[in-house]
């Protein structure tokens, strides 16, 4: 026969216990993407594929913002030169 022992004072819900919650700007969200087999194979061989993908997307976003600023500046400059 198996005897059950009641152990008291260990575990359970305690104030301040557990992992602290991340701020909203640091939380991660799962997302599904379709990749070509060679990209998938390369990513699987990397140590931290999520970080690589996120850094590439962030770099692309930075380039997009810079291009938007440059194009808007060029467009506004061009509009100013149109004789009315």
> From first to last of its 84 residues, what are the pLDDT tens digits of the chain?
566 666 555 666 778 778 888 888 888 888 888 889 999 999 999 999 999 998 988 888 888 887 777 777 666 655 555 555
pTM (global) more than 0.75:
no
Helix (H) or strand (E) holding 37: helix 37-44
Inter-residue contact 46 to 52 (CB < 8 Å): yes
Nearest to 39 by CA among 52, 21, 26, 20: 52
Question: What is d(CA 50, CA 62) in angstroms, rounded to the nearest whole number?
Answer: 18
């Amino acid at each position: 026969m198996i005897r059950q022992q009641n152990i008291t004072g260990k575990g359970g819900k305690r104030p301040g216990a557990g992992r602290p919650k991340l701020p909203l700007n640091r939380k991660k969200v799962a997302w599904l993407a379709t990749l070509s087999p060679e990209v998938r194979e390369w990513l699987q061989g990397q140590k931290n594929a999520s970080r690589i993908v996120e850094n590439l997307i962030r770099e692309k976003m930075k380039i997009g913002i810079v291009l938007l600023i440059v194009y808007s500046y060029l467009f506004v400059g061009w509009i100013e030169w149109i004789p009315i």
